[in-house]
Structure 1
Amino acid sequence: MNTKRFAYKSMDDLQSALKDLRVELPLDDDIKILSESISVKGRKIANRIAVQPMEGADGNLDGTPGELTKRRYERFAKGGSGLIWFEAVAVQHEGRANPRQLMLDEKNADKFREIVENIKEICIKTNGFEPVVIMQLTHSGRQSRPDGTPRPVIACNKPLFEKDKPISQESIISDDELKRLEIKMGNAARIAESIGFDGVDIKACHGYLNNELLSAYQRKGEYGGSFENRIRFMVNSVANAMANTSSEFIVTSRLNVYDGFPYPHGFGVNERDGLEPDMTEPLKLIDILHNKMGMGMIDITIGNPYVNPHVNRPSDFTAYECSEHPLKGVERLVNCAKAVQRQFKDLVVIGSGLTYLRQFSPHLAAGAIKNRYFSIAGFGRMSFAYPNFANDILKNGYLAPEKCCITCGKCTQLMRTSGNAGCVIRDGIYAEFFKALKLAVK
């Protein structure tokens, strides 16, 4: 088990550790650039800070936002981020990761209208600007549990994940079902625009269905094998979303450019080097999305939180033996975003993996933006622990160490155990939930 502790009291301490580990991160003392605005599709994003989509699993059974969902987004709205990336919303019941995952359809759209209007109203009142709000559209694929028990929907069998419990081939989604799902993605985008969202994310990350299709090398038919087949669902879903919305509406994606699994189980790797990132296919896909289809913004991520979470979110604690230092993981995350940003200079790229640096994360965010690693700094776990983090960065010029996320992973443990997600260290409501489950809070 990895129990490395973040123990850097100053930038000098951190720089010394980076040097010892031979890790290069573009830290910068001047963080003013984070206050600068940027535009996507004519929509102004007030600053260079984003709240990443953090699944809450606390919606109502009909797919609408629950009271804790509303509380979470009210806190994000007050927090001051220019971009709020709304968590994963299923486009059909069978694709929900749990019975309380959010789900959008014609019947419940007005409830989502209420929450996005509330986000914008609160942010305008508190911070003086209207945030850009993106809805993430998803199908949970092999993680689908719409009624509380596993009902996986897979692109193809992957023995690396299934081990001695292979999933029945009856769970492999058919080409016809994928074609219907592409249409549902377009319809959900249309609804999202009609109720006030500024854009949608065709989610293609973290092991869910769209991400898994990108590495469906061993699948037969129109959606597997060749690169053109493996990206077919992604490209068609984006095309349907664009066709069903106005030219000003943002159609984007949170995209895994590296899964962290050897070929043929992962995207963004080659057949020879196994676990080393190979950006050839991801860059080829992004070229199609950006230069041929007009996608103006993309959110870059890597890894699978169910299988190799140290890749996706570098942490002080992992539930398995991990020899990699978390700072190496941060370096990999920002370098993957850098490879995209340097290739596509006019694409607004959102970077991930900053939270591990706690109070020093603004310095990495600023340095990465100045050095063209990405255009906007995305924060996930930090937003749970420290909802007002953006305002403290922008107005005070620093983050308070005692308020920062400590990357303990308990927010995920709580969500997987109880269906609630929040910071059990910094937020009393979630600490009580955690204690009620007789789990230790340290």
Structure 2
Amino acid sequence: MLFQTFAFKNGQTAKNRFFKSAMEEQLAKHNRPTEQLVRLYDTWAKGGAGVLVTGNVMVADNGKGSINDVVLTDDRSMDTLKAWAKAGRQNDTLLIMQINHAGKQSPKVLSPTPVAPSAVALQGMDGFINPPRELAAGEIEELVGRFIETARLAEQAGFSGVQIHGAHGYLISQFLSPHHNRRNDKWGGSLENRMRFLVEIYQGIRAAVGSEFLVGLKLNSADFQKGGFDENDSIRVVQKMSELGIDFIEISGGNYESPEMLTAKESTKKTGSLFLGLCGKSACRQPSAADYYGRFPF
């Protein structure tokens, strides 16, 4: 089974079922890609995985989660991006760029006043992350455009697709959570409104790139905190994104306040798969739902 090919609905085919999920490389220099990233993905592509997903590539300067994140907002680093894509796609490998904005999960050394859907401070982060300010409606629209532009640049560079990071308490995850998103405009309140930011990002990317370019999502199964994004919310988001035609969904969970993505329970130790049980309960069992990869937490 692991060595069988996997056909995505847009026609792209992974040569096997080995899927390297995102890991934070921290190899950028001045937030631009480097030769070190090229060499790393050259090594990984030669390792034989069918799909490689990069670590965070941030869509805006104010969205960094770590000091050495790649930030991709223009084509100044296109030559290095192309070399990165070429290295990661050798050996018939699909290379997916994970695109993200940290929102309020941005350390104070990077963001003195981070941004978020609502001005709700993270608990237990005093001294590391400052309280956020609420995004204006116009800023939200601008950030939608930032995600779209980063995806367009990834396609131009030769990547196989992008993965929208909607998990782990970053900005999209914050919009999805009723605890972190307390807005009373079209971006908050009902789940339909809370997922609007994600939906508009996805639809904008899909309209801006070619049909063979993969567009996927990393999504929390739950935030694992009182009043947050829960399993029922997650299933409804999966159903919506599947209806819209998303190519794949990777399931994870937790955030900085409740880091379940780093917790290995007894069931995980037995299966080697974080959140696999939650995936089994969800819409991934329905024929219309997107395909899941649930094995990797980062």
TM-score, normalization by structure 2: 0.88
- 1:327–1:290: structure 2 CA closer, same or farther, 3 Å change rule? closer
- 1:145–1:344: structure 2 CA closer, same or farther, 3 Å change rule? farther
Q: Counting helix residues as a fraction of each chain, which structure ranks higher?
A: 1
SS of equivalent residue, structure 1 residue 178: helix
Query: Could you tell me whether the CA contact under 8 Å between 1:95 and 1:140 is conserved in 2?
Result: yes
Q: Which structure would you say has the larger Rg?
A: 1
Do structure 1's residue 303 and structure 2's residue 250 form an aligned pair? no
- 1:213–1:93: structure 2 CA closer, same or farther, 3 Å change rule? same
CA distance in 2, matches of 1:342, 1:70: 37
SS of equivalent residue, structure 1 residue 300: strand
Give the match for residue 30 of structure 1.
none
CA distance in 2, matches of 1:346, 1:154: 30
- 1:57–1:164: structure 2 CA closer, same or farther, 3 Å change rule? closer
Give the match for residue 250 of structure 1.
214
* Matched residue type, 1:136: Q
CA distance in 2, matches of 1:189, 1:93: 16
Q: Superposed, which structure 2 residues align to 1:37-436 within 5 Å?
A: 37-40=5-8, 41-61=10-30, 63-104=31-72, 105-121=74-90, 124=91, 130-145=92-107, 148=110, 150-158=112-120, 161=123, 168=131, 171-216=133-178, 217-263=181-227, 266-268=228-230, 279-291=231-243, 293-304=244-255, 306-309=256-259, 311-315=260-264, 325=266, 327=268, 333-338=275-280, 339-344=282-287, 347-352=290-295, 379=296
- Post-superposition offset of 1:286: 1.6
CA distance in 2, matches of 1:337, 1:44: 23
- 1:150–1:346: structure 2 CA closer, same or farther, 3 Å change rule? same
Computed over aligned residues only, the root mean square deviation of the Cα atoms, in angstroms, reads 2.5
Give the structure, 1 or 2, with the largest relative contact order (CA under 8 Å, sep 6 or more).
1
Structure 1: state its 5+ residue gaps.
Answer: 1-32, 125-129, 269-278, 316-323, 353-378, 382-442
* Matched residue type, 1:209: L
- Post-superposition offset of 1:205: 0.7
SS of equivalent residue, structure 1 residue 84: strand
Query: Could you tell me whether the CA contact under 8 Å between 2:118 and 2:182 is conserved in 1?
Result: yes
Query: Could you tell me whether the CA contact under 8 Å between 1:135 and 1:192 is conserved in 2?
Result: yes
- 1:325–1:34: structure 2 CA closer, same or farther, 3 Å change rule? closer
Structure 2: state its 5+ residue gaps.
Answer: none
- 1:168–1:86: structure 2 CA closer, same or farther, 3 Å change rule? closer
**Deviation digits for residues 295-345 of structure 1 (CA, Å, limit 9, x no counterpart):** 1211111112x3333x21334xxxxxxxx6464896761012222321345
CA distance in 2, matches of 1:146, 1:192: 28
Query: Could you tell me whether the CA contact under 8 Å between 1:95 and 1:146 is conserved in 2?
Result: no
**Deviation digits for residues 346-379 of structure 1 (CA, Å, limit 9, x no counterpart):** 6321112xxxxxxxxxxxxxxxxxxxxxxxxxx4
- Post-superposition offset of 1:67: 4.2
- 1:119–1:241: structure 2 CA closer, same or farther, 3 Å change rule? same
Query: Could you tell me whether the CA contact under 8 Å between 1:98 and 1:147 is conserved in 2?
Result: no
- Post-superposition offset of 1:254: 0.7
Structure 1 consecutive aligned stretches of length 4 or more whose deviation exceeds 6 Å: 163-166, 328-332
